[in-house]
Structure 1
Amino acid sequence: MPIFDGLDDIVDTWLNIDESWGRNAPRYRSMTSLRRLCDENGGVGDGGELLRKLYARLVNNWDGQPSRGAENWRHSQNRHLGDNPSLEVSLQRRFMQIVNDNSWANEVPVASGVANTGPDSVDFVRRSDASYSMIELKWPRLDGANEAPLKAAIQVLRYGLAYIFSRDNAETLGYDRNAQPILGASQVQLRVLAPVHFYTRFLAPNRWLERFEKTLDSGIRNLAGETVVMSFAFEQFPDDFTWEPDGFPGDPDGPFDEPRRVAVVKAFQERHRLFREGQ
């Protein structure tokens, strides 16, 4: 059984989303569900309760055997674009091609080969001494692909849960903190990173999404305990940053013009919290 099995049902139940909302489960993933949650502006539940239930289910799904995934929690870079990459993948790998900074890793597996868990990777990991950021990148097309901040938030929280699990059970899983130094981190930041248009339709007329961020942040902090400081937040690129891979010359892995290189790196450097702290 995959260690993430059943987690989506727990999220739907915590959000009081049932079959009356339509669509197939998991219902929280749809833009329609998030719009309704924002429009109704109801209360946000106890984040600590949610995270405890999710983690308990993840641990219960484990068969107690070592991981068969040799790449889990590696810190390396995948720069090859391949044919017809999505907007997210093209931006992710273009950034890795040009950033020239070994503190960044991408497509980092978190639980492959643990029980029957398949490939599941966090888009970026950024290392700064003993502090790490785990970043879920989203770049939907303006025509409204079915991607929403709620789905992205739960996705990166799953990686956070896998991290706590991996750290708590490192010896049995066969992990080595010398080879996987992230497992000895003092701080781990869980972040969703996206352009402003990913969030805009869910910000007005109320602050439901902001309250949701705060309750998830509180929940993951409490679950992680004192050994590692863990946090959650939504981040956005600068408002004027745009991304469209079409029109890049020749080889899909080849160079592109310097102004675009500078713009991409600057956008990552100037990413910022969607909601200001302390509000």
Structure 2
Amino acid sequence: MSIFNGIDEILDNWLGLIGHGNKFGSQKGVPKYKSKKAAIALSEKGSPLNGHADNDSVAEVVSACVTKMEENLKGFDLDNIPSSNWEWEKSLHLASHSTSQEKTLEKLVAFLLDENWMNQMSVCNGLHSNAGANACRVDLVHRNDTSYDLIELKYSNKAHGGSDQPLYAAMEILRYGLVYLLFRKLQPLNRKMTASRYHIMKATQIRLVVLAPSSWYIYKKNGTSQTFNFKWLEKSLTSGLIQAIQDIPTMKSIEFAFEVMTPKACEQYIILKNAVDHFRRVKLASKPL
């Protein structure tokens, strides 16, 4: 049982990825929007493959997802949901054997930057028994007064590197954003979130962000490097999400965006990451006095 049951099918259908045989994958339980071929096709078309990207159709898709999630909640005991969801608490442990550049960057951002940055925010613990805990966490969250960015972080310093692709990352952070709206709307989900550490529940603005180096947005086709074009997806998702907050009076705005890490941030991170790697190999103690 999962709060996300049926959501991937709604999204795949809206994107026009259904009905193409195995072109965009056939593995059970894996959404077709995870396929890089799907991302390239949608980028090149500039709209869902069936052509429906108008505001009304997107609003209907967002509404259908929220309604489906509400139906899925009936399979859970809402009185026993863990209190860790949407809690403002940093997760700073980085395993010494970890080689993930994304994970290292995420941890260093949370550790080195101020208290307005946090990482690994639990989204739906207790509501998603089909996957491990890490599958239900926002990588980074940034607070600016009552505005919050929920960030899906992607990083690699290799050309065309980083995991997944922009379409898949967008759908991941969209799903988490929809869960957030559900928590805001439904009193059985948020009634225990009165402590100050749940201040995100009082946000007036939410931004759903995919953040990555510019190289992550590049793909190769026929030996030529091209940049994914998902401006249409940004606009479509934002318009649909705006309709979804109309019944949350304290929320003023919501938007979706693809953003690029600055070259300076990438450069400084590489320096910092190399320093951390070197320090891990240092022998701390010399001969006894």
Normalising to structure 2: TM-score of the pair? Answer: 0.78
RMSD: 2.5
> Per the alignment, do residues 209 and 231 of structure 1 end up closer, same or farther by CA in structure 2, a change over 3 Å counting?
same
C-alpha distance in 2 between matches for 1:213 and 1:172: 28
Any idea what the Cα deviations from partners look like across 1:102-136, whole Å, max 9, x if unmatched?
A: 11111000110136465200011112222211111
C-alpha distance in 2 between matches for 1:97 and 1:22: 39
1:26 aligned partner: 31
Residue 235 of structure 1, aligned match among 256, 259, 264: 259
Amino acid at match of 1:142: A
2:63 aligned partner: 52
2:285 aligned partner: none
1:216 aligned partner: 237
Any idea what the Cα deviations from partners look like across 1:203-255, whole Å, max 9, x if unmatched?
A: x9798511111001111111122531211111111145245535622339xxx
Residue 190 of structure 1, aligned match among 208, 211, 221: 208
Larger Rg: 2
C-alpha distance in 2 between matches for 1:170 and 1:130: 20
C-alpha distance in 2 between matches for 1:12 and 1:37: 12
2:73 aligned partner: 62
Is residue 85–residue 125 contact of structure 2 (8 Å, CA) maintained in 1? yes
The count of corresponding residues between Structure 1 and Structure 2 is 250
Q: Which runs of 5+ in 2 are unaligned?
A: 282-289
State the 1:68 CA deviation.
2.2
> Per the alignment, do residues 174 and 113 of structure 1 end up closer, same or farther by CA in structure 2, a change over 3 Å counting?
farther
Amino acid at match of 2:238: D
> In percent, how many aligned pairs have the same letter?
28
> Per the alignment, do residues 130 and 206 of structure 1 end up closer, same or farther by CA in structure 2, a change over 3 Å counting?
closer
Any idea what the Cα deviations from partners look like across 1:48-105, whole Å, max 9, x if unmatched?
A: 1221111111111112632522211111112221122411101111122221x11111
Is residue 4–residue 117 contact of structure 1 (8 Å, CA) maintained in 2? no
1:121 aligned partner: 137
| 1:111-150 equivalent positions in 2, closer than 5 A | 111-114=124-127, 116=129, 118=131, 119=133, 120-140=136-156, 141-142=158-159, 144=161, 147-150=164-167
> Per the alignment, do residues 62 and 115 of structure 1 end up closer, same or farther by CA in structure 2, a change over 3 Å counting?
farther
SS in 2 for 1:132: strand
Residue 96 of structure 1, aligned match among 87, 110, 115: 110
C-alpha distance in 2 between matches for 1:172 and 1:34: 34
Is residue 122–residue 159 contact of structure 1 (8 Å, CA) maintained in 2? yes
